[in-house]
Structure 1
Amino acid sequence: MPDITGLTEVLAATAKHGGGPGALLRIILVVGIVGAVLLAWFLLRGYKQD
């Protein structure tokens, strides 16, 4: 069974600060977009003509 204590700690921290689930979803969205941009940059870097 996977260890999800990190996720539960994040959920507890966002609920404690009054952010609710909206804050967590916003963080996930930003991390996903940044990750997609970095992945695209890394993949497209290989097509560069020297």
Structure 2
Amino acid sequence: MPDTAAAATADVAALLAAAADQGPGDTLRIVLLASIVGGVLLAWFLLRGYRTDGTDAPGGEDGTAGTGGNTGRDANA
């Protein structure tokens, strides 16, 4: 009958060696996380230019309809 302690030690050594050689897992996690953060920042940067602050909507705060944010000038000029 084989020695169970020696077999268990060999099994543990084999598991530790296999666990140390798992490939680029950490690197891929970092690349994936950086890509997601970069995508969110890029979307925020691009979409902030399309934000409306209410000044160019018809019917401004002063009650005039259809000024479109034109500050007192004729829109056709």
TM-score by length of 2: 0.39
Q: Choose between structure 1 and 2: higher helix proportion.
A: 1
Residue 21 (structure 1) aligned with residue 36 (structure 2): no
Provide the alpha-carbon RMSD of the alignment: 1.5
Q: How many correspondences in the alignment?
A: 33
Unaligned segments of structure 2, at least 5 residues = 1-19, 54-77
For residue 46 of structure 2, what is the aligned residue in structure 1?
Answer: 43
Q: Distance in 2 between matches of 1:35 and 1:22?
A: 20
Amino acid at match of 2:27: L
Q: Secondary structure at the match of 2:52?
A: coil
Larger radius of gyration: 2
For residue 34 of structure 2, what is the aligned residue in structure 1?
Answer: 31
